[in-house]
Amino acid sequence: MRPPKFSLKYFTLFMILPFTMLCLTQPLRVAGQIKNLSKLPNLSQDVEKAKKYPSIPMPDSYPKDLVQLFDEQVNARSYVVVDSQTNRILAQRQANVPYPIASMSKIIPTYLVFKAIDEGKLTLETEIEAPKEITDVLSNNYELSSANLIGGQKYSVKDLLYGVIMMSGNDATSVLMWHLYGSEQGGVEAIKDQLDEWGITDYRFFTNSGLPNSFLPEEWWAPGSSANDENQMSAQDVALVAQHVSEDYPEILQIASTIEYRFKADTEFEQVFYTTNLLLTGQSEERQGITGLKSGSTDAAGNNFVATGTEEGRELVTVAMGVFPNADGSVTTPYADINHLLNGLATHPDLYQDEKLPTNKKPSLAERQAEEASIQASINESIVEAAKKDETPGEEVKEFENRRDNPITDFLGQFFK
């Protein structure tokens, strides 16, 4: 019997296959591992960081007056305005550069709680006991925003959700996530899984609430992380998260648009929560059509806000990130920046129709897996076709030359017998 011949075509295909699959599957989380920012704003560091990301190209048709207006009026380090229906980016500055997001992180745990309710794991009436381990760290530290939970006391899921969104309660966030996933890092892994499912890959996530590690016990930290590590995402990805929240669980927007809420109503532990969203009706920066969503601030993040709402019948998501005090000591807010952005865009109501605008849409995990399967099928088909060609009479099949037996290998072989 003749020994089997190994075609060079087969060798090439088998070598390409693993490399192709590696390239497809690798950018799930690794791409998000970028160097963390200092706890104090470092503008030179921001410039160096932004250089690593190519600018999002806006079309030549983009209104020049808007560019000038936003350069003059908007203070945010990065921002984006996205048309929810088309995913088109209507305005942006460094919208693809990940920066600290602070408590804007909390909209993802909130999403996961509603997802768990959908799956029958919880109801809004489910009572959860607040572990003293959490309240000692997050409720009793008055530097931190909290829902003032008491260790050992039970709270309904509904009350805790209002505590997360309205009070930005770090304690309420961890109580919910620990109940669902067992620990701080169990919750963080669930958040990462959800981001991956949405196709968001360029991020860093360390805590459920958005707090820097330095505020948590070291045993809560992710392996290999440091005290200064905190959650980071880009403005366009925060907008994409908000789009999923609005579309999948509009109940979250009902919470986010609430002006006043009685927590633990008619009990000795009753509190009244008031909105901190200055864009809602009756607030100092009020804007018609705003429905939410979430603020966030740390030393490194500055002040941030992701806003959802309707402008001229179009659903928009606006994110302003990294608003710091001005050099002259005057203070601005992300709410003011969001109003500047939306006021400017109102002068160009048809801008969303420009098909040349970039988008923030990402291929989801399911779409990436379908693409991988399609490529795998194409590779398999190529192998079959190559095999059929090799069976054609008269076609020469190139064999690999045996170079194992030669004077050098024979000589060395004497020492390894």
Give residue 378's pLDDT: 81
For the record, the structure tokens of 195 come out as 């981001």
Interatomic CA distance for residues 22 and 74, integer angstroms: 41
Side chain identity, residue 266:
D
Burial class (CB in 10 A: 0-12, 13-18, 19+), 53: middle
| Three-class DSSP category at 334 | helix
Q: Which residue has the higher pLDDT, 382 or 348?
A: 348
Give residue 404's pLDDT: 57
Q: What percent of the chain has pLDDT over 90?
A: 73
Give residue 17's pLDDT: 45
Q: Which residue has the higher pLDDT, 13 or 55?
A: 55
Give residue 7's pLDDT: 47
Q: Which residue has the higher pLDDT, 345 or 382?
A: 345
The answer to whether the beta carbons of residues 132 and 214 sit under 8 Å apart is no
Q: Which residue has the higher pLDDT, 370 or 201?
A: 201
Interatomic CA distance for residues 180 and 219, integer angstroms: 19
Give yes or no for residue 19 having a pLDDT over 50. no
Interatomic CA distance for residues 401 and 93, integer angstroms: 58
Average pLDDT, the chain: 87
Give residue 56's pLDDT: 96
Nearest residue to 184 (alpha-carbon basis) of 214, 217, 142: 217
Long-range contacts of 65-68 (CB under 8 A, 24+ apart): 65/347, 66/91, 66/344, 66/345, 66/347, 66/348
What does the DSSP assignment read for 248-266? H-THHHHHHT-SEEEETTT
Place of tokens 């669902």: 180
Give residue 32's pLDDT: 26
Helix, strand, coil in percent for the chain, rounding step 5:
40, 15, 45
Burial class (CB in 10 A: 0-12, 13-18, 19+), 301: buried
The answer to whether the beta carbons of residues 213 and 229 sit under 8 Å apart is yes
Which segments are annotated as binding site for substrate? Answer: 294
Interatomic CA distance for residues 379 and 17, integer angstroms: 7
Q: What percent of the chain has pLDDT over 70?
A: 81
**Residue 309 main-chain phi, psi, to 5 deg:** 170, -175
Give mean pLDDT, residues 33-50: 48
Which residue of the set 78, 168, 234, 257 is catalytic? 168
In this predicted model, what pLDDT tens digit does every residue of 289-338 receive, in sequence order?
A: 999 999 999 999 999 999 999 999 999 999 999 999 988 888 899 999 99
Give mean pLDDT, residues 256-264: 98
Which segments are annotated as binding site? Answer: 294
Domains of the chain: 64-366 (3.40.710.10)
Distances (CA, A) of 315 to 350, 368, 417: 13, 27, 76
Q: Is 106 a catalytic residue?
A: yes
Give residue 180's pLDDT: 99
Lowest-confidence pick of 18-32, 37-51, 361-375 = 18-32
The answer to whether the beta carbons of residues 320 and 340 sit under 8 Å apart is no
- pLDDT band with cut points at 50, 70 and 90 for residue 13: very low
Which residue of the set 7, 84, 106, 174 is catalytic? 106
Which residue of the set 7, 78, 103, 146 is catalytic? 103
Interatomic CA distance for residues 98 and 363, integer angstroms: 18
Q: Is 284 a catalytic residue?
A: no
The answer to whether the beta carbons of residues 250 and 110 sit under 8 Å apart is no
Lowest-confidence pick of 62-76, 77-91, 206-220, 389-403 = 389-403
Q: Which residue has the higher pLDDT, 162 or 45?
A: 162
In this predicted model, what pLDDT tens digit does every residue of 83-137 receive, in sequence order?
A: 999 999 999 999 999 999 999 999 999 999 999 999 999 999 999 999 999 999 9
Give residue 409's pLDDT: 58
Q: Is 297 a catalytic residue?
A: no
Across 135-288, the runs of DSSP E, i.e. the strands, are 154-156, 232-233, 260-263, 271-274
Angle among Cα 81, 238, 103 to the nearest 5 degrees reads: 120
Side chain identity, residue 109:
P
For the record, the structure tokens of 219 come out as 């045993």
For the record, the structure tokens of 19 come out as 């490399």
Q: For residue 54, what is the DSSP state?
A: P
Across 195-327, the runs of DSSP E, i.e. the strands, are 232-233, 260-263, 271-274, 290-298, 302-311, 314-323
| Three-class DSSP category at 85 | coil
In this predicted model, what pLDDT tens digit does every residue of 175-226 receive, in sequence order?
A: 999 999 999 999 999 999 999 999 999 999 999 999 999 999 999 999 999 9
For the record, the structure tokens of 163 come out as 């505590």
